[in-house]
């Protein structure tokens, strides 16, 4: 199954108006908070992908009734007291967001749980989440930092004042979810802004949460369903279209109905610094604290830059695309202070350095990033390194190659963007199964 190979052929121009599927991070949070709330929630435009189905499945095992009908999800909340003992190992597949957010919830339960995942997830660090949860009183054992994780039953968690030194929305969200099960106030201090979908959605669920520049404070206690959540299109998925439009000749694409949360805009800002022609049009009518709107991109002559460190966290999932943009740019691009990339679905520094080298691009690898010299891409036979975003980013290399780009092991694309091939082909790409 894992040998599922895609071949991406030479691209002429790309054109069209498209929408991308719902946002993955927001879809996870919508299911989880709806499950923990009092009341019923209808979730529209959720992402129908394997990672979200893991969150749905785990929520069902823990006692929530969830119905999927015609692209609408209906979640019957069980409240903070309603979770039931799973009595079996919980398997989170490939989904880092699901497992880390559920660690926060399961740390506060009166029953024990054991959590595991697939080959890629089993290599990813879990101590970073276990450590603050232990400081709240949770009893958690990791397997030398990795999965499986065993969480013992508890009679309650304490409040915490925590300094978030790793720029991770998943750690932050695990602490916020655990804090719902406490009586008093938990405070998280952070210097680096990471995606804030949990904070925004907790407000929609009437939680007592306050956010200022560098501090989040939350008071535990029941949350209440807002009854309806609309999930905007995923800016991370849209970013594949954005880069394809920028690096292909004579191209213009409009991506509609996409999330424009400021904590996710790093990739667009980096592309603009590289001379990209991108227009953003926010939709002010949208009835949510999540921003939404459309993005127009046109073919651009990209220039190499030193990627500013302060944009890395808000572009973290799009960094494989920044590597490819750099390969297509004139001059050299430096990506540093990006070591977090080594802890994603693959070691994304290693994966992109290997693949760009195979595509005949000059790259120097560092512990925390790489320098990439823009050049002429030559088609090659690549591996996804078990990583959906590496697979999709590398398939875009055919926008600048005369010969086909082949990527092995692409089944993982289903975890985040199952309609990737069809969407890219609808604007003029030519991606096929081998």
Q: Does 317 bind ligand S3P (CB under 6 A)?
A: yes
Binding to ligand S3P by residue 413, rule CB under 6 A? Answer: no
Q: Which of 169, 180, 377, 397 binds ligand S3P (CB under 6 A)?
A: 169
The answer to whether 402 and 371 are in contact (CB under 8 A) is: no
Q: Which is nearer to ligand S3P, 308 or 331 (CB)?
A: 308
Stretch that binds ligand S3P, among 39-47, 165-173, 261-269, 348-356 (CB under 6 A): 165-173
Q: Calculate the CA 171 to chain-centre distance.
A: 13
CA-based nearest residue to 58, from 24, 26, 22, 88: 88
For tokens 């309609």, name the residue.
419
401: three-class secondary structure by DSSP? strand
Q: How far is the CB of 195 from ligand S3P (least distance, A)?
A: 6
Closest approach, Cβ 146 to ligand S3P, in A, equals 15
CB-wise, 223 or 319, nearer to ligand S3P?
Answer: 319
Residue from 32, 106, 231, 316 binding ligand S3P (CB under 6 A): 316
Nearer to ligand S3P, 97 or 109 (CB): 97
Closest to ligand S3P by CB, 184 vs 262, is 262
Minimum distance between the CB of residue 317 and ligand S3P, rounded to whole angstroms?
5
Nearest to 389 by CA among 327, 335, 322, 298: 322
From CA 188, how far away is CA 156, in angstroms rounded?
A: 19
Considering only residues 79 to 108 of the shown chain, the ones binding ligand S3P according to CB under 6 A are 97
Stretch near ligand S3P under the rule CB under 6 A, chosen from 75-83, 164-172, 273-281, 347-355: 164-172
Count residues near ligand S3P (CB under 6 A). 9
Query: Which residue in 432, 400, 71, 24 sits closest to 245, CA to CA?
Result: 400
Q: Which residues does residue 150 pair with via DSSP β-bridges, in sequence order? A: 114, 141
What are the two backbone dihedrals, phi and then psi, of residue 90, each rounded to the nearest 5 degrees? -95, 125
Q: According to CB under 6 A, which one of 8, 25, 59, 91 is a site residue for ligand S3P? A: 25
Q: Report if residue 388 touches ligand S3P, rule: CB under 6 A.
A: no
Task: Kindly tell me which of 54 and 400 has the beta carbon lying closer to ligand S3P.
Answer: 54
Q: Give the sign of the dihedral formed by CA 285, CA 291, CA 292, CA 293.
A: positive
For residue 392, state whether it binds ligand S3P (rule: CB under 6 A).
no
- Of residues 41, 55, 120, 168, which one binds ligand S3P by CB under 6 A? 168
Site for ligand S3P contains 195 (CB under 6 A) = yes
Distance in Å, CB of 87 to ligand S3P, minimum: 28
Q: What is the nearest approach in angstroms of ligand S3P to the Cβ of residue 316? A: 5
Closest to ligand S3P by CB, 11 vs 417, is 417
Helix (DSSP H) and strand (DSSP E) numbers for the chain: 12, 23
Question: How many whole angstroms separate alpha carbon 239 and alpha carbon 257?
Answer: 13
Lookup result for tokens 């709330």: 37
Q: Residue 427 CB, nearest distance to ligand S3P (Å)?
A: 24
- Residues 8 and 404: beta-carbon distance below 8 Å: yes
Our CB check for ligand S3P shows the closer of 8 and 317 to be 317
| 173 interacts with ligand S3P by CB under 6 A | yes
- The catalytically annotated residue of 51, 317, 383, 387 is 317
Residue with tokens 């651009």: 300
Comparing CB distances to ligand S3P, the nearer of 168 and 207 is 168
Q: How far is CA 208 from the centre of its chain?
A: 26
CA distance 260 to 280: 9
Of the listed pieces 166-174, 179-187, 279-287, 420-428, which binds ligand S3P according to CB under 6 A? 166-174
Q: Is 164 in the site for ligand S3P (CB under 6 A)?
A: no
According to DSSP, the residues that pair with 140 across neighbouring strands are 151
Angle at 133 between CA 130 and CA 139, to 5 degrees: 75
398 binds ligand S3P (CB under 6 A): no
Cα–Cα distance, 197 to 354 (Å, whole number): 33
Strand 277-282 to strand 228-230: parallel, antiparallel, or no bridges (unpaired)?
unpaired
**How far from 364 is each of 314, 329, 335, 342, 419, CA to CA, in Å?**
24, 16, 10, 16, 33
Residue 167 C-beta: closest distance to ligand S3P, Å? 7
Active site residue 213: no
Rg (CA), the chain: 21
Residues contributing to the site for ligand S3P (CB under 6 A): 25, 97, 168-170, 173, 195, 316-317
Give catalytic residue positions: 317
């Amino acid at each position: 199954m894992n040998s599922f190979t895609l071949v991406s052929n030479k691209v002429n121009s790309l054109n069209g108006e498209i929408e991308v599927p719902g946002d993955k991070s927001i879809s996870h949070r919508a299911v989880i908070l709806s499950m923990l709330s009092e009341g019923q929630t209808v979730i529209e435009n959720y992402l129908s992908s394997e990672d979200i189905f893991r969150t749905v499945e785990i929520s069902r095992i823990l006692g929530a009734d969830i119905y999927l009908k015609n692209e609408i999800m209906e979640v019957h909340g069980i409240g903070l007291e309603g979770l039931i003992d799973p009595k079996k190992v919980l398997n989170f597949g490939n989904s880092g967001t699901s497992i880390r957010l559920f660690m926060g919830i399961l740390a506060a339960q009166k029953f024990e749980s054991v959590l595991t995942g697939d080959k890629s997830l089993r290599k990813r660090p879990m101590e970073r989440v276990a450590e603050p949860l232990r400081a709240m009183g949770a009893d958690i054992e990791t397997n030398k930092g990795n999965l499986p994780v065993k969480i013992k039953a508890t009679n309650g968690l304490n409040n915490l004042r925590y300094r978030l030194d790793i720029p991770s929305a998943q750690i932050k969200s695990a602490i916020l979810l655990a804090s719902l099960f406490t009586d008093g106030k938990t405070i998280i201090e952070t210097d680096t802004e990471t995606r804030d979908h949990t904070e925004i959605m907790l407000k929609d669920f009437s939680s007592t949460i306050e956010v200022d520049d560098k501090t989040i404070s939350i008071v535990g206690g029941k949350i209440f369903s807002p009854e309806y959540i609309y999930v905007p299109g995923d800016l991370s998925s849209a970013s594949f279209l954005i880069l394809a439009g920028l690096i292909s000749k004579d191209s213009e694409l409009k991506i509609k109905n996409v999330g424009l949360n400021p904590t996710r805009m790093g990739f667009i800002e980096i592309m603009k610094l590289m001379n990209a022609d991108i227009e953003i049009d926010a939709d002010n009518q949208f009835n949510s604290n999540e921003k939404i709107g459309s993005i127009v991109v046109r073919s651009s002559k990209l220039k190499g830059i030193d990627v500013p460190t302060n944009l890395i966290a808000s572009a973290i999932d799009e960094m494989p695309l920044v590597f490819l943009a750099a390969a297509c740019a004139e001059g050299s691009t430096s990506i540093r202070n990006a070591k977090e990339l080594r802890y994603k679905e693959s070691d994304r520094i290693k994966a992109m350095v290997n693949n760009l080298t195979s595509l005949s691009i000059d790259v120097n690898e560092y512990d925390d990033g790489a320098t990439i010299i823009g050049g002429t891409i030559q088609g090659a036979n690549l591996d996804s390194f078990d990583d959906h975003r590496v697979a999709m980013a590398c398939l875009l290399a055919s926008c600048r190659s005369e010969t086909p780009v082949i990527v092995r092991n692409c089944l993982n694309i289903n975890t985040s963007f199952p309609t990737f091939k069809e969407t890219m082909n609808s604007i003029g790409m030519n991606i096929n199964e081998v």
